[in-house]
């Protein structure tokens, strides 16, 4: 959990009830993206603000932690791929077990052993990227990049792309497009059916986006709210209870970090299989 912020510093920005010179916990500030890295007591780092073709592409808190997740992935899996010999040790065993789990239980279980193999790299990347970002939110000073709609939205968009591409690759563009209008349904119903099918295609990644964002945000909100109770009630007596509960939620969040990565990857695999065999 990043340090409790002094609400007065951000009072003008958020205008919440804590902004009256008191110590407090600013939940929204904690969860929102920002241009500074607050690594108290080491210091506060202002991140560079860039612009590209008129687009604000500044490096933000979440960008940094997303890159950290990406760097961790490269640092773990690139050396793992270069290892020779069949006996792995230490951390490689852990990640190999996870990778085999993703391969067997997520991809092969849903798409099939032969058909699923080409999808293993994409879904493995998705799983580990989300898992690492989720877990980075649980280390001190860390931030959960997956607790941001922009991040989950882009990931869902990649999922959407993969799902549609797999549907087209498996059926051919014509047959796949025809699956929007299932056979045996009167043509009269086309104006109803086609929008419904299209909405179905869009709703799937939309649900992926919102689910991941909401789950990763919710845990943090609960923890911060529990800790915030101490400041709101103004009593040290409530602290043991609040801390105990927030530790419980924290442990739950470790579980949720894995579960949400699993759900995102599994649903992507399931949707891929669904579009490969429409109706």
Partner 1 sequence: MDLLQPEPGLIFWTAVTFALVLGILWKFAWNPILGALEAREEAIRKTIDDAERLQSEAKTLLEQHEAKLAEARAEGNRILDEARQAGDRLKTDVMDNARVEAEQVMARAHRQLELETDQALETIRNEAATLAVKAAEKVIQRSLTDDDHRRFAEQAVAEIARRGG
The binding site for partner 1 (CB under 8 A) comprises 28, 31-34, 50, 52, 55-60, 62-63, 66-67, 70, 73-74, 77-78, 80-83, 86, 96, 99-100, 103, 117, 120-122, 124-125, 129, 145, 148-151, 153-155, 157-158, 217
Provide the minimum distance between the beta carbon of 78 and partner 1 in the complex, in angstroms, as a whole number: 6
Nearer to partner 1, 122 or 176 (CB): 122
* Residue 126 · residue 155 · CB < 8 Å: yes
Nearer to partner 1, 176 or 222 (CB): 222
Q: What is the rounded CA–CA span in Å between residue 74 and residue 80? A: 10
DSSP 15: -
Nearer to partner 1, 81 or 187 (CB): 81
Torsion sign across C-alpha atoms 219, 221, 227, 229: negative
Nearer to partner 1, 45 or 50 (CB): 50
Provide the minimum distance between the beta carbon of 151 and partner 1 in the complex, in angstroms, as a whole number: 5
Nearer to partner 1, 151 or 272 (CB): 151
- By C-alpha distance, which of 170, 217, 195, 205 is closest to 62? 217
Provide the minimum distance between the beta carbon of 277 and partner 1 in the complex, in angstroms, as a whole number: 24
Q: Which residues contact 106 (CB under 8 A, 6 or more apart)?
A: 123, 127, 262, 265, 266, 269
Token digits of residue 64 = 């940094």
As beta bridge partners, residue 46 has 36
Provide the minimum distance between the beta carbon of 276 and partner 1 in the complex, in angstroms, as a whole number: 20
Provide the minimum distance between the beta carbon of 227 and partner 1 in the complex, in angstroms, as a whole number: 18
Nearer to partner 1, 108 or 176 (CB): 108
Provide the minimum distance between the beta carbon of 169 and partner 1 in the complex, in angstroms, as a whole number: 16
Provide the minimum distance between the beta carbon of 178 and partner 1 in the complex, in angstroms, as a whole number: 30
Nearer to partner 1, 4 or 99 (CB): 99
* Residue 36 · residue 45 · CB < 8 Å: yes
Q: What is the rounded CA–CA span in Å between residue 141 and residue 85? A: 38
Provide the minimum distance between the beta carbon of 52 and partner 1 in the complex, in angstroms, as a whole number: 7
Phi, psi of 57 (to 5 degrees): -110, 45
Token digits of residue 272 = 């891929």
Nearer to partner 1, 176 or 266 (CB): 266
C-alpha angle 209/211/215, rounded to 5°? 125
| b/e 41-69 (16+ beta carbons within 10 angstroms → b) | eeeeeeeeeeeeeeeeeeebbbbbbbebb
């Amino acid at each position: 959990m990043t340090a409790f912020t002094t609400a007065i510093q951000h009072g003008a920005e958020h205008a919440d009830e804590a902004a009256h010179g008191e110590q407090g916990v600013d939940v929204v500030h904690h969860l929102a993206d920002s241009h500074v890295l607050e690594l108290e007591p080491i210091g506060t780092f202002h991140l560079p603000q860039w612009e590209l073709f008129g687009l604000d592409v500044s490096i933000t808190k979440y960008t940094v932690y997303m890159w950290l997740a990406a760097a961790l992935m490269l640092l773990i899996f690139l050396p793992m791929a270069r290892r020779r010999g069949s006996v792995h040790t230490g951390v490689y065993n852990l990640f190999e077990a996870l990778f085999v789990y993703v391969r067997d239980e997520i991809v092969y279980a849903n798409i099939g052993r032969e058909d699923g193999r080409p999808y293993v790299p994409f879904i493995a990347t998705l799983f580990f990227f989300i898992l690492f970002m989720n877990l980075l939110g649980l280390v001190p000073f860390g931030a959960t990049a997956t607790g941001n709609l922009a991040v989950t939205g882009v990931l869902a968009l990649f999922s959407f792309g993969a799902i549609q591409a797999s549907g087209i690759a498996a059926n051919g563009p014509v047959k796949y497009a025809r699956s929007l209008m299932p056979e045996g349904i009167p043509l009269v119903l086309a104006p109803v059916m086609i929008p419904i099918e299209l909405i179905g295609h869009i709703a799937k990644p939309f649900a992926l986006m919102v689910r991941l964002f909401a789950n990763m945000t919710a845990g943090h909100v609960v923890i911060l709210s529990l800790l915030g109770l101490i400041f709101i009630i103004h009593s040290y007596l409530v602290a043991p209870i609040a801390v105990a509960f927030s530790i419980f939620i924290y442990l739950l969040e470790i579980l949720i970090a894995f579960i949400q990565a699993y759900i995102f990857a599994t649903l992507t695999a399931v949707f891929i299989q669904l579009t490969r065999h429409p109706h």
